[in-house]
Chains A and B, each alone.
Chain A
Amino acid sequence: MLGFLKGLSVTLSQLPKKKVTIQYPDVQPEWPERFRGVHRFIPEDCTVCNQCARICPTNCISLSGTRDENKKLRIDTYDINFDICILCGLCTEVCPTECILMSDTFELANESRDKLYLDMHWLYENQLRYTQRHPERVAQEAAKDHEEAPAT
């Protein structure tokens, strides 16, 4: 007979404990730096090497670029289809210039699949938004770039 009384006392002892609920959306969750949310993209840095599109296991990146007057490749379109992107982060891993990155945007719900097809502008805006939210993280990234730049 003792067993279930023990159980009852356990549940009662939980009653006054601190609650763990986060009042989303009033309170946004804190995402760590490595969090893999929707991508952000920095068009100036992209060298159109196509590595990200090649590594992507779901083939959801499509991009195109042209050579400008200095024979440098410039990105023209860069779309990610978030209908099939699995947010694995492999694309960010291979990018030589670190211009495709993950952000902490995670609210992707939408009323139409078409709206999940996000283009370069949206991704760039996402970068701007990320900069606004986490200026210190972006500054750190830039500092790291700066450090690595002379080495390469």
Chain B
Amino acid sequence: MDERDVVRTEEMLLNVGPQHPSTHGVFRLIVKISGETILDAEPVIGYLHRGTEKLAENLQYTQIIPYTDRLDYLAAMLNNYALCHTVEQALGVEIPERAEYLRVIVMELQRIASHLLFIGAYLMDLGAMGPFLYAFQERERIVQMFNEICGARLTYNYMRIGGVRWDAPPGWLDQVREFIPYMRERLKMYDDLITGNEIFLNRVRGVGKYDTETALAYGLSGINLRCTGLEWDLRRKKPYSIYDRFDFEIPVGKNGDCFDRYYLHLLEMRESLKIVEQAIEQIPSGPVLGKVPKLIRVPAGEYYSGIEGARGEIGFYIVSDGKDKPYRLKIRKPSFVNLQLLPELLRGESMSNLLAILGAVDIVLGEVDA
């Protein structure tokens, strides 16, 4: 069925992006195609480069937090936490219980919001309009709750080293509690709307397949790794914060195809809801900001810690020379790492699978380019 054997075709270079409706930001992909077959693909990134890592060298640790908001702007809470966690580890400060619980709640809500947007945008890539706007309705509720707790809808700047900026306003936890059953119901709706749709299944089943070895060789993490069947979730494998107190499952895929990647997003939202539910029940009262010096100086040395972000392992690597600013900050950006697999995945595929594959890799350009 290789059409190159049947019809003589000429190679053509197709420029997908940087201004293209479904590159999710400014991303350019140079694809070499012959007929409808992709011979090679080369991602061109950097359109959104802001030099976050370099900027951070001139900023105090607290000042870096708002910059992390702007990496993966769909999951800013998780980025916030990743940075704070690394610094806290370095300082060895104790974080008040309530702060930990609040962090977990907002992080899991953030994960849901981010996954929702993935599902919406992915379906949009595949041509369905409805799910995108449905996803935004639930996301709006989450974002509105974030707005109430920290005053911003996208760039939260909520976590502080040693805790969180604000305690939950009165009634906030009840709002979250009410949100859980609503979200469960909506998840069922997505299941009905998308998972069973034959057209959708035909487009994603068996498309963009890779196995665990390839995934590990490319250093993938998050859902992109779990879809191959390897159960690797940092919340379980290297429990940070208070994740060891909750009962939740790590859903894994079987085939490593686009469908698994889609479906894991749906399943993970369910697990996140479980975590939020338990956290709300257990949350103690108390202070939300631990005892930290006003000017934070990280003792000289090198520190790394990674957490399970919405797209994979977000890690901050800090080299400190004992001053109040990092000597060097390196961010492990999951989108950036996951993107490396793309050319390999696309090679030999049909042109019409391009978007199904690109969408399922789930990149956020703010994070890729940093």
Contact = CB atoms under 8 A, between A and B. Distances in A.
A and B touch in the complex (CB under 8 A): yes
Interface of A: 1-4, 6-7, 9-11, 14, 20, 31-36, 55, 57, 86-90, 93, 102
Contact of B63 (A36, A57, A102): A57
Contact of B192 (A6, A55, A87): A6
A102 B165 CA distance: 15
A58 to B, nearest CB: 9
Contact of B197 (A7, A34, A87, A93): A7
Contacts of A88: 65-66, 69, 155, 157
Contact of B193 (A10, A93, A102): A10
Interface string B274-294: 000000000000000000000
Interface of B: 59-60, 62-67, 69-70, 130, 134, 137, 140, 147-152, 155, 157, 165-166, 169, 189, 192-199, 201
B166 A34 contact: yes
Contacts of A31: 147
Contacts of A34: 147-151, 166, 169
Given A34-B166, A88-B155, 5 more contacts: A3-B196, A32-B169, A33-B169, A57-B67, A89-B152
Contacts of B193: 6-7, 10-11
Contact of A3 (B151, B157, B197): B197
B137 A20 contact: yes
B199 A32 contact: no
A9 B199 CA distance: 16
B66 A102 contact: no
Contacts of A6: 192-193, 196-197
**Among the interface residues B66, B149, B198, B201, which one has the most CB atoms of the partner chain A within 10 A?**
B66
A32 B144 CA distance: 9
A4 B128 CA distance: 12
Nearest to A88: B66
Contacts of B70: 86
A3 B155 contact: no
A72 to B, nearest CB: 25
Contacts of A57: 59, 63-64, 66-67
Contacts of B66: 57, 86, 88, 90
Contacts of B151: 32, 34-36, 89, 102
A4 B200 CA distance: 9
**Among the interface residues A2, A32, A93, which one has the most CB atoms of the partner chain B within 10 A?**
A32
A31 B70 CA distance: 22
A91 B179 CA distance: 33
**Among the interface residues B67, B189, B193, B194, which one has the most CB atoms of the partner chain A within 10 A?**
B193
A55 B157 CA distance: 14
A3 B165 CA distance: 46
A3 to B, nearest CB: 3
Given A6-B196, A7-B192, A86-B66, A32 B148 contact: yes
> Closest 8 interchain pairs by CB?
A3-B196, A34-B151, A88-B66, A57-B63, A36-B151, A32-B148, A10-B193, A7-B193
A3 B201 CA distance: 10
A6 B140 CA distance: 25
B62 A55 contact: yes
17 contacts: A2-B196, A3-B197, A4-B196, A7-B197, A35-B151, A55-B60, A55-B62, A57-B59, A57-B63, A86-B66, A87-B155, A88-B65, A88-B69, A88-B157, A89-B152, A89-B157, A90-B66
